[in-house]
Structure 1
Amino acid sequence: MEKRTLFDNTETAFVLKSDSELERAYFLFKMIANEPLVRIGTAVTNFALKAHLPVQGLIRATVFDHFCGGVDEEDCMPVIEKMYAKGKVSSVLDYSVEGKEEEEQFDHVLNKTLEILDFVDQKDAIPFGVFKPTGFGRFLIWQKKTEGTPLTAEEHKEWDRIEERFDIVCKKAYDCDVPLLIDGEESWMQDAADELVAKMMRKYNKEKAIIYNTLQLYRHDRLEYLKKLHEEARVYGYKIGMKIVRGAYMEKENDRAAEKGYPTPICESKEATDLNFNTTLNYILQNINEISVFIGTHNEESSYKAIELMEQQGIAKNDPRVWLGQLFGMSDHISFNLAAEGYNVAKYLPFGPVKDVMPYLIRRAEENTSVAGQTTRELDLLSKERKRRKL
């Protein structure tokens, strides 16, 4: 198949969608395309949930079911099995409850992550586990560690508990032989997370990559960080696991840098970010014997680039060290067409109680409106598939 038209195949892209699901997707992206509407919808939804108005059913039937797998693991299974059986696409179960601050909530997320690792062990359709560093401890503690601010005695205990949670879950992943993706977050807490994840890699990645960190490549310093980590990995004799994404907190990063008067860590332009992503991807694939990669991208050019670089390096389409991933509910034209060609593809499948997952869903809707062309491309493909089916 001609490479550059691979993602235009809408029949393969929407193989899983019934006519009514196709219509719902079209309606949702039409709404998302209208930025003021997203703002109003977000505010109204937040208010309705806080006021305990009966909107959960409506949210569940529309935006939740489009972007999420379900309210718990079992609820997600029909979606997971359908994607794997019909589309050859795997899933990453992502417990998407954000912004918690209490110790018992962190223990709950730890237990949830351990449960998921047990749940996915032996399931070919779910090849990875995943969690966010701030799911295991307060943002402020991460920030203080990153900034080198001394911790109080009580905070030292909190940090010890964070390290312990990390070690428990990383050991579990190692014992289950399930690779574990650790998400990236804001730059002013990320150094502490990077150090702790590297410590886990040293311990658990001796034979192969089990523990994966995340590089957000809208940050111009990340390739340099990877190269330093690579040198360290060679010295200590461990493999690197890396998920690469463009990043999810750009406006927040730029606003904070402006407010505090330091240079923004974000690349100066979209072109610079794209170049940084593709250069880093190239560096990883040239060092595939030492660095395994999960390529998280909704960008068609980067996906074509991955195909091209894998061919150049003689890396098999189904090499277990290379995965490509997109979010559930977005970029099906990339996921399902790549999977149909034999590449390893996984959808990030968020799940959790409807009201707890709303912050995540709102961020997704806002991201879609801020990424130029993303929503337009989704709408074009959905329109094309609607026409094809009518014919």
Structure 2
Amino acid sequence: MEKIFENTEIAFALKSNSDLKKAHFLFSMMAKPAMVRLGTSLTNFSLKIGLPVKGLIKNTIFKQFCGGVTEDDCLPIINQLSEKGVMSLLDYSVEGKEDEEDFDNAMRKKIALIDFADSHNGIPFASLKPTALGRFALWQKVSEGKELSSAETAEWKRIENRFDAICKNAHDKNIPVLIDAEESWMQDAADRLTEEMMLRYNKENTIVYNTIQCYRWDRLEYTKHLQTLGKEKGIKVGAKIVRGAYMEKENERAEEMGYRSPICESKEATDVNFDKVLSYILDHLDTFSLFVGSHNESSTYLAMELMKERQIVQDHEKIWFGQLYGMSDQISYNLAFNKYNTVKLIPFGPVKEVIPYLIRRAEENTSVAGQTGRELTLIKAELRRRKL
């Protein structure tokens, strides 16, 4: 297959030389774990004692990975992406809330974002993080099948109601919603609730998507379970497949508590599992709609090859590809240029409250083998091309 991701002219068409040089500087810093740890510590300390660092953050790492403070701030980026055939998915990336008022506010925000997507071209999806709607500890307790107190039962019912309100609005507006996956010890409850929403709202169109973290060795079996559910209940199953984002935390907890880690034994095993899940879903498009959330070029090429082998057209309505804003532009823009359905996930929110998300982006770029180096190589190649 033609190596389309080498085309840096298409990949960076929206970036000026100045933008590329700033991105080069940022990724150079992320390539150094010691610098990331130092930057994280300094950022947290500066915010704690009230130093005026928000302006610096906003003009550097925030600008690279976020669309703005509000959804309206993101509109110029959404419009620019749309001109290149790349769609957008807005993600209000404020984390760590823990009380009922915050959970209700999160529900209202997600509903408002679905309405926003409905009224603006170029935003075909919404997203939802389950723990934005209720305490992590309660998700965990429900996952473990433990008996709830009367207060906890009422609290869980409120979570269910919030979840349902968001999915119902998504159904009414015909805006599919991607439900994030989180830590394995709370995920069973999230899976069950997401499946309930599929049974309720996926009868005619694929509205609710569950996320399948393929670094978990049990997720191929779970994918087969979803296919069986779809067939038996006559619903359309939405599946977003990713590798996963909690590997170190998962392995540490498993070792500490003495159970088998749910994570594949190696990066290679994760890649194999991802590709098996990908292939299985493409073999069952009568049941599934697929969102490939990946920055991995090999898996993306494999998806393209499998589509070609199965004579599935590039812009098939049931298949989408997605990457994070500020990363892997060589994948996003070249896919769109070649007529594949492509989405950029655009985080936004108040600078101070988005910082945990930004720190995680920096840490993940540092820890994912080859990710930062690939970004730097492509940026250098494009700057050389422009100079020539």
**What range is the shorter-chain TM-score in?**
over 0.9
Distance 2:165 2:308 in 1: 38
2:30 is matched with 32
The structure 2 residue matched to 1:53, chosen from 51, 54, 63, is: 51
Offset from partner CA, 1:28-82 (integer Å, 9 cap, x none)? 0000001100000011111112222100000000000100011110001111111
Q: Is the Cα contact below 8 Å between 1:246 and 1:273 reproduced in 2?
A: yes
Tell me what 2:188 maps to. 191
Aligned residues of 1:338 and 1:345 also touching (Cα < 8 A): yes
Structure 1 runs (4+) greater than 3 angstroms displaced? none
Aligned equivalent of 1:284, options 281, 294, 302: 281
Identical-pair percentage:
58
What SS does the aligned partner of 1:289 have? coil
Please state whether the residue corresponding to 1:253 is helix, strand or coil: helix
Counterparts of 1:1-391 in structure 2, within 5 Å, are 3-85=1-83, 87-391=84-388
Distance 2:12 2:301 in 1: 20
| Amino acid in the other structure paired with 1:171 | K
The one-letter code of the counterpart of 2:76 is: P
State the alpha-carbon separation in 1 of the partners of residues 41 and 145 from structure 2: 37
- The number of residue pairs the alignment matches comes to 388
SS in 2 for 1:317: coil
Per-residue displacement from partner, 1:156-206 (whole Å, max 9, x unpaired)?
111000000011010000000000001000000000000000000000000
User: Distance in 2 between the 1:320 and 1:54 partners?
Assistant: 47
Give the gaps of 5 or more residues in structure 1.
none
Match of 1:72, SS state, is coil
Question: Is 1:4–1:304's contact at 8 Å kept on the other side of the alignment?
Answer: no
State TM-score, norm by structure 2. Answer: 0.99
Give the letter aligned to residue 292 of structure 1: S
In 2, distance between residues paired with 1:102 and 1:179? 27
Structure 2 residues not aligned, in runs of 5+? none
Distance between the aligned counterparts of 1:345 and 1:47, measured in 2? 38
The CA deviation at 1:4 is 3.9
Aligned-partner SS, 1:121: helix
Alpha-carbon distance in structure 2 between the residues aligned to 1:48 and 1:154:
39
**Deviation digits for residues 186-229 of structure 1, max 9, x if unmatched?**
00000000000000000000012100010010000011011112
- CA offset digits 1:89-129 (Å, max 9, x no partner): 11100011111101111111111101111111043310001
